[in-house]
Amino acid sequence: MTDDTPRDFIRQIIHDDLESGKHDQIVTRFPPEPNGYLHVGHVMSICLNFGVTEETGGQTYLRFDDTNPGKEDVEYVQAIEEDVRWLGFDWGQRLTHASDYFERIYAAAEQLVERGLAYVDSLSAEEIREYRGTLTEPGKNSPYRERSVEENLDLLRRMRAGEFADGEQVLRAKIDMASPNINLRDPALYRVRHVAHQATGDQWCIYPMYDFAHTMSDAFEGITHSLCTLEFEDHRPLYNWFLDQLQPQHRPRQIEFSRLNLAYTLTSKRKLNALVAENIVSGWNDPRMPTIAGMRRRGYPASALRDFVTRAGVTKKDKLIEMGMLENSVRESLGDTAMRRMAVLRPLKVILSNYPEGQVEMMTAMNHPNDPDMGTRDVPFTRELWIEQDDFMEEAPRKFFRLKPGGEVRLRSAYIIQCDEVIKDEQGNVVELHCSYDPDTRSGTGSSDRKVKGTIHWVSAAQAVDAEVRLYDRLFTAVNPNKADDFRTVLNPDSLVTANAKLEPALAELAPGTPVQFERLGYFCVDTQDDAASARVFNRIVTLRDSWAKLERQALESENQAGTSPSRK
C-alpha cells in the first residue's frame, strides 16, 4: 500500500471520480439537525465530509437541516458552529440551512404535482399508517390517489395558504404502494404544521419531509457525494427517484457508511437529551458526556478526536469501538506536549524530623522528562509535605516499592526519605508519618548515587494550593448502554468522584483548559466553566493507563461476535 492509496471505500470512490473526470471538484456537506449538541459520532461524519474535500481541494457545506420547527433551537445552532470550528474545519461562506431552500423545494413539489407524480392525500395520519401495509404485506392505494392534477395543485396551494389544520392534508409522492421498500410506498413530501420556524418565522405552515428536503438541498448545492450513515441505505431508492424525476442540474450520489458507536457510551441525541433534561449530568457539556462540548471541557484536544476517528476508519460494518482507543488517542496527543506537575489527590502528612523548621529549598524539576526544551520549574521543599495515602502501606507486601515502616523511597526531584514512625488516630487510621531525609541524596546534585527502588510525588504543605479535582470515569457500566431497556439502570455510580487535592504552587497559574500531567496520576486541566475556574476545579482528562482495557476487550469481543451491533435507531 503506497501513501496515496485511498484509506477507505469512500475515498476510493472519490479518488476514482476525480481520476475519471466525472467531477473536477468534490463537494460535500455536513447536515446536522439543530436539535441537540454534536457527539463523538458526528466527529466522524465531520472529519469525513470536511476531510475528503480538504484532501482534494473541494468544498464542504455546513448545512442545518432545520425542517422540524419546534424541536430546534438557536442554542444548538451556535454550539454546532463552535464545535465544528473547534475541530479545526472551516466552511467559509458555505453555511446554509434547508430553510434557505424552502421556496425552491416547494417549487419542486409543485412540479411533481403538475407531472402527476405527487398527490394530496386527505386520509388521517392513522389511516395512512393502516394503508401503508407492513414489511410482509403490500400497502393499498389511498382513495385520494387518483385526484386530478388541477385538484392536487389547488389543494397544495391551499395547504400552503393555511386553509387546513395540522394533519388534515398531506402531499405524497405517487410511487408504488406495493413496493417491498416501504420508503417507496407513496412517502409524504409535505405536511401541514402551524408552527413558527426559527429562521422563516410564520412564513410557512407546511414543511417538507426530511428525505425530500435533503435530496433537493443536496442537488441545489451541487453536492457530488452525499455521505450519510447506514440507516439511510433504504432511503437511497427514494433519493434517486427524486433525482430521476426532477433531473436537477447536479446529480449527487448518496453513499452510506456505518455509524461510529463507542463502548460504554450513548450516541443518540434523544437519549443524551434525556441525560441533560433529567439532570443525570450537569449539562450538554458535562465532561462525562460524549458530546464535542463535553469532551472539549474535559480537556480532550481536537487533534486527539481527529486522530481517533481516522483510526476507527470508515466502513460499512456496524460495530462498537473501544473507549480505550479514544483515550489512547488522547494520551498520545498529550504525552509529548503536556507539562509535568505534582499534585496529591488523597493527602497524607509527612514530617521530616531532621529537616530544619522554617527552611525552604527550591528544587529544580523538569517540565517534561524527555524534552529539556520544555524547561524546568522550582518546587519548594520543606519540613512538612503531603504524599499520596496510597504510597504508604503499613503491612506492605515484598514488592511494594513505595513507603513502608522502616523503608526508603525517593521523593521526585528531591531527596530519599525513610519512614521512622507511623502516627495513628484513635480509630487506628494512619494520620501522619514521621520520616527523616538523607541530605546527601538531593536530586541532580550527584553528591550521592545511592538508589532506591521507588519514586513518589509530593507537595510541600506550607505552599500547597488547594483544589477540587474531579475524577471522571465511564458514564455507564454496560458496554452497550444502547441495548439496555433503560439506560438509566446501567449508569456508573462512580462516574464522578471528587478529591480535595494539594497542588504544587506552579499549578496556581495554570490557564483554564491547558492540559498538564499530574505525575503518576494522569492528565488534568482547569475546568473552563467560569464559576469552576474561580474556585479552581480540575478535571481529570484521562488516566495514564487504561484500567478498563481487559474488561472492555472481553466485553466487546462477545458483543461484536454476537453480531448484536447497536440498533440503527
| Catalytically active residues, by annotation | 33, 259, 269
- Give min distance, CB of 333 to ligand ATP, in A: 21
Q: Which residues partner with 228 through β-bridges?
A: 256
CB nearer to ligand ATP: give 554 or 567. 567
Q: Which of 240, 143, 105 is nearest to 184 (CA)?
A: 240
CB nearer to ligand ATP: give 47 or 459. 47
Q: How far is CA 153 from CA 142, 252, 268, 508, in A?
A: 17, 28, 39, 70
CB nearer to ligand ATP: give 117 or 216. 216
- Set of cell numbers at residue 197: 420556524
- Give min distance, CB of 100 to ligand ATP, in A: 17
**Helices (H), ranges, 247-301:** 269-277, 292-298
CB nearer to ligand ATP: give 280 or 393. 280
- Give min distance, CB of 538 to ligand ATP, in A: 30
- Give min distance, CB of 364 to ligand ATP, in A: 48
Q: Is 445 exposed, middle or buried (0-12, 13-18, 19+ CB in 10 A)?
A: exposed
- Give min distance, CB of 34 to ligand ATP, in A: 8
- Cα–Cα dist 357/371, whole Å: 35
CB nearer to ligand ATP: give 198 or 382. 198
- Cα–Cα dist 496/136, whole Å: 48
Decide: 256 and 316 in contact? Cβ < 8 Å: yes
- Give min distance, CB of 44 to ligand ATP, in A: 4
At residue 438, what are phi and psi to the nearest 5 degrees? Answer: -100, 105
Provide Rg for the chain, Cα atoms.
31
- Cα–Cα dist 569/556, whole Å: 20
Decide: 33 and 66 in contact? Cβ < 8 Å: yes
H/E run at residue 351: strand 347-352
CB nearer to ligand ATP: give 268 or 528. 268
CB nearer to ligand ATP: give 38 or 464. 38
- Give min distance, CB of 267 to ligand ATP, in A: 4
CB nearer to ligand ATP: give 268 or 460. 268
- Give min distance, CB of 65 to ligand ATP, in A: 6
State the angle between helix axes of 40-56 and 74-87 in degrees (0 to 180), rounded to the nearest 10.
50
CB nearer to ligand ATP: give 29 or 298. 29
H/E run at residue 208: strand 206-208
Question: Can you list the positions of beta strands (E) in 220-335?
Answer: 225-229, 253-257, 260-262, 319-321
CB nearer to ligand ATP: give 48 or 304. 48
Q: Which of 141, 150, 98, 101 is nearest to 121 (CA)?
A: 141
- Cα–Cα dist 178/141, whole Å: 9
The CB-nearest residue to ligand ATP is 41
**Helices (H), ranges, 348-434:** none
- Set of cell numbers at residue 234: 433504504
- Cα–Cα dist 460/466, whole Å: 12
- Cα–Cα dist 209/128, whole Å: 15
Query: Please, what's the largest Cα pairwise distance for the chain?
Result: 102
CB nearer to ligand ATP: give 346 or 483. 483
Decide: 27 and 66 in contact? Cβ < 8 Å: no
- Cα–Cα dist 258/76, whole Å: 25
- Give min distance, CB of 58 to ligand ATP, in A: 17
Q: Which of 551, 526, 39, 25 is nearest to 305 (CA)?
A: 39
Q: Which of 217, 218, 260, 225 is nearest to 43 (CA)?
A: 260
Decide: 497 and 538 in contact? Cβ < 8 Å: no
- Give min distance, CB of 478 to ligand ATP, in A: 18
| Cα end-to-end distance, the chain, whole Å | 36
H/E run at residue 441: none
- Give min distance, CB of 318 to ligand ATP, in A: 10
User: Residues interacting with ligand ATP, by CB under 6 A?
Assistant: 31-33, 41-42, 44-45, 228-229, 259-260, 267-269, 569
At residue 213, what are phi and psi to the nearest 5 degrees? Answer: -60, -40
